[in-house]
Amino acid sequence: MDSTGRDLPDGSSGGGGAAPSRYESQKRRDWNTFGQFLRNQRPPVGLSECSSNHVLDFLRYLDQFGKTKVHLQGCIFYGQPEPPAPCTCPLRQAWGSLDALIGRLRAAYEENGGSPENNPFASGAIRIYLREVKDCQAKARGIPYKKKKKPAGAGGGSGSGSKTPDDDSSSSSMPFS
């Protein structure tokens, strides 16, 4: 932090040791929350027994804390990005938040001793689930998601920096944090 109490752009604290970045702090909170979720299962699940099914259960569990209105197909506002009145459709976690969460947990898993080959956050089932959530939310809210085309001559990379219009992953609110 600088003398005004604000965080410095590079994530350092201005004093002796460097404070963890916002990303690192969020990743640690997410990892702790997932660990708590596994411990709360009956019977408790150890990290070595964790599978993509546990990750899917965790993502569904998080929906109860979501803030994104997702209209059901029978709702009169289905497909309307800005409905004129309230409805009883459920609140869910936004696709962008879940996508960012999985990215952080995927990294945390390997940083905490998990092997890349067995990473449950990197499984095909998780990718399919995220794609289905994205498609469902896009249809329900009437917001088309268009794939961003890579500029000609652009290097590899993994699509970092590509955000959708309603990607609110920066405001993740998870329990236990």
Fold of 22-144: DNA polymerase; domain 1 (1.10.150)
Q: What is the pLDDT of residue 9?
A: 43
Q: What is the pLDDT of residue 151?
A: 67
CB crowding 95-120: b at 16 or more within 10 Å, else e? bbbbbbbbbbbbbbbeeeebeeeebb
User: Domain limits of the chain?
Assistant: 22-144
pLDDT digits (tens, 9 = 90+) for 100-129: 999 999 999 999 999 999 999 999 999 999
Q: How far is CA 96 from the centre of its chain?
A: 6
